[in-house]
């Protein structure tokens, strides 16, 4: 008799039998109910988990009691359960049986994903279908190659090795601003950083300053949903070469010899940076995730990646949540944090703030001003707001100054640092003295 390639009932039965033989094994079992193909065995396993949570023994009688008379008959009753309990002579092969059950579950997951891709391809929207399909298959592959048993031994070794390294004063990716890095220690891998500001305050320019600084040693990846690649590179030239943004509008007419020299030097410097810019319209999280994953594989685990998203509210949400923008943003925020953690990258998401800022006398942003979702605040490891007094008051004494307000810092202090802002070049500098 040919065995079905997608499930192995006898092995699933052996798992349940072993648990009847030694109920304490439930604490070592890493199977989830969805790993079982047989609905009867899946439901028996769920009852066993419930018994374990209540501190009750796991045997045929206690499972029957937990199920109740009607449900007990649905899971096989006295015809099936005693035979399962007697089907395994010992628990010696329990771990091996677990791996077999997981392997078949992963096979079934792969087939489901393939069918989903086939159906979605027939319906259209090929690009999104492929991105989501690749991501789903990658998740199955990761589970197949390395089941997460929650083991801490390698983590302890890694921690000791980290302690032996002199990371200097800045352990993360430096922003290029001493005053800011003094508070943060640099941007830490696997963190989600949110930078919020009202429109035209300078959040894109600020993010680009950090991206250009980081790309000299590490890798900067920009997903621009608002500006084109050419516009960003023009800004980068202005920042690196101290070239006026006004002159960059029409260099042929407005550049002098010094400007042309600065342009050439800036282009040369930028060309050597590890900088990647994506400016395709209508980006969603699967698109961003797939490209970051490719670059992570390209550079390897030893290289640090800094991912910028400009800006969060422009990311296309799940079509199933259409019409509920708050739910869409919540889902996007959770996915970005998950991406930061799984791919071990820093994700810096720029965010618009609500108009509530404008109605207050003190217009410095607060956490409650984050637009569309409180989930952003929960998911973020660090939240920074940009505030310029001369944005609201042209006669302000704090002209060409910007405040970076660290409103949330999961692993460090909060506070405010002040930088100089040279609007002509879109450039930020530490204040001297």
The full DSSP string for 12-67 is HHHHHHHHHH-GGGGGT----GGG-S-HHHHHHHHHHHHHHHTT---SHHHHHHHH
The mean pLDDT value for 169-197 works out to: 88
pLDDT number for residue 241? 87
Helices 39-53, 77-85: axis angle to 10 degrees equals 70
CATH class for the domain made up of 1-150: mainly alpha
Residue 194: enclosing H or E segment and its boundaries? strand 192-197
Q: How far apart are CA 428 and CA 430, in angstroms?
A: 7
How much of the chain exceeds pLDDT 90, in percent?
Answer: 18
Evaluate whether 15 touches 99 at the Cβ level (below 8 Å): no
pLDDT of 324 over the 70 cut = yes
How much of the chain exceeds pLDDT 70, in percent?
Answer: 86
Model confidence over 9-39: pLDDT tens digits?
888 888 998 898 888 888 878 888 988 988 8
**Does 123 or 232 have the greater pLDDT score?**
232
- Edge to edge, the sheet with strand 219-224 lists 275-278, 219-224, 305-310, 346-352, 192-197, 382-387, 401-409, 415-422, 427-430
pLDDT number for residue 207? 93
pLDDT number for residue 138? 62
Rounded to an integer, what is the distance from CA 197 to the centroid of its chain?
Answer: 22
**DSSP summary character for residue 187:** B
Residue 110: enclosing H or E segment and its boundaries? helix 94-123
pLDDT of 166 over the 60 cut = no
Model confidence over 186-201: pLDDT tens digits?
999 999 999 998 888 8
Q: What are the domain boundaries of the chain?
A: 1-150, 170-430
The mean pLDDT value for 281-287 works out to: 85
Pick the CATH number of 170-430 from 3.30.1490.70, 3.40.630.10, 1.10.3720.10, 3.40.50.300: 3.40.50.300
Name the band, by pLDDT with cuts 50, 70 and 90, for residue 1.
Answer: very low
The mean pLDDT value for 117-130 works out to: 67
Average pLDDT score, the chain? 83
- What are the backbone dihedrals phi and psi of residue 358, each rounded to the nearest 5 degrees, phi first? -70, -25
């Amino acid at each position: 008799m040919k065995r079905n390639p997608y499930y192995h009932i006898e092995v699933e039965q052996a798992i349940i039998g072993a648990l009847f033989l030694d109920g304490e094994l439930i604490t070592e079992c890493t199977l989830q109910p969805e790993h079982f193909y047989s609905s009867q065995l899946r439901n028996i396993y769920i009852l066993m988990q419930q018994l374990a949570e209540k501190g009750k023994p796991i045997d045929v009688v206690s499972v029957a009691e937990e199920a109740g008379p009607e449900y007990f008959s649905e899971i096989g009753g006295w015809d099936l359960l005693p035979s399962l309990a007697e089907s395994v002579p010992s628990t010696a092969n329990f771990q091996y049986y677990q791996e077999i059950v997981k392997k078949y579950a992963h096979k079934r997951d792969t087939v489901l994903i393939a069918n989903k891709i086939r159906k979605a391809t027939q319906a259209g929207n090929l690009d999104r279908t492929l991105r989501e399909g690749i991501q789903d298959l990658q998740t199955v592959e990761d589970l197949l190659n390395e089941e997460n048993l929650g083991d801490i031994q390698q983590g302890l070794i890694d921690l000791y090795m980290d302690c032996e390294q002199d990371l200097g004063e800045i352990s993360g990716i430096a922003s290029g601003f001493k005053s800011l890095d003094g508070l943060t220690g640099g941007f830490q891998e696997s963190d989600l950083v949110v930078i919020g500001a009202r429109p035209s305050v300078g959040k894109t320019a600020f993010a680009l300053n950090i991206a250009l600084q980081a790309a000299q040693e590490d890798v900067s990846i920009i997903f621009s949903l608002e500006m084109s690649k050419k516009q960003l590179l023009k800004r980068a030239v202005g920042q690196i070469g101290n070239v006026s943004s006004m002159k960059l509008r029409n260099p042929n007419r407005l550049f002098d010899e010094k400007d042309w020299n600065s342009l050439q030097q800036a282009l040369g410097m930028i060309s050597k940076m590890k900088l990647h810019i994506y400016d395709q319209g209508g980006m969603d999280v699967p698109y961003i995730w797939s490209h970051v994953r490719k670059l992570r594989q390209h550079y390897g685990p030893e290289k640090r990646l800094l991912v910028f998203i400009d800006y969060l509210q422009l990311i296309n949400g799940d079509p199933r949540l259409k019409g509920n923008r708050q739910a869409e943003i919540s889902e996007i925020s959770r996915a970005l944090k998950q991406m930061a953690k799984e791919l071990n990258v820093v994700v810096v998401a720029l965010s618009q703030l609500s108009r509530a800022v404008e109605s207050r006398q003190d217009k410095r942003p607060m956490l409650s001003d984050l637009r569309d979702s409180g989930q952003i605040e929960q998911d973020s490891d660090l939240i920074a707001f940009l505030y310029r007094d001369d944005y609201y008051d042209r006669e302000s004494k704090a002209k060409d100054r910007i405040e970076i307000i660290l409103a949330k810092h999961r692993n460090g202090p909060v506070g405010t640092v002040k930088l100089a802002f040279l609007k002509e070049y879109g450039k930020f500098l530490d204040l001297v003295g």
